[in-house]
Amino acid sequence: MTNSKSMASDLLYKIGIAADHGGFVLKEKLKMKLHDQGYEVIDFGNTELNLADDYPDYILPLAKAIADGWVSRGIAICGSGVGACIIANKVAKVRACLIHEDFSAHQGVEDDNMNMICLGGRVIDEQLAWTLTTTFLAAKFSALERHVRRLRKVTEIEKNKN
pLDDT tens digits for range 19-35: 999 999 999 999 999 99
Bridge pairing between strands 116-120 and 73-78: parallel
For the structural domain made of 4-159, what CATH number should be given?
Answer: 3.40.1400.10
What pTM was estimated for this model as a whole? 0.90
pLDDT tens digits for range 60-75: 999 999 999 999 999 9
Report, as residue numbers or ranges, the catalytic residues.
78
pLDDT tens digits for range 4-21: 444 444 445 799 999 999
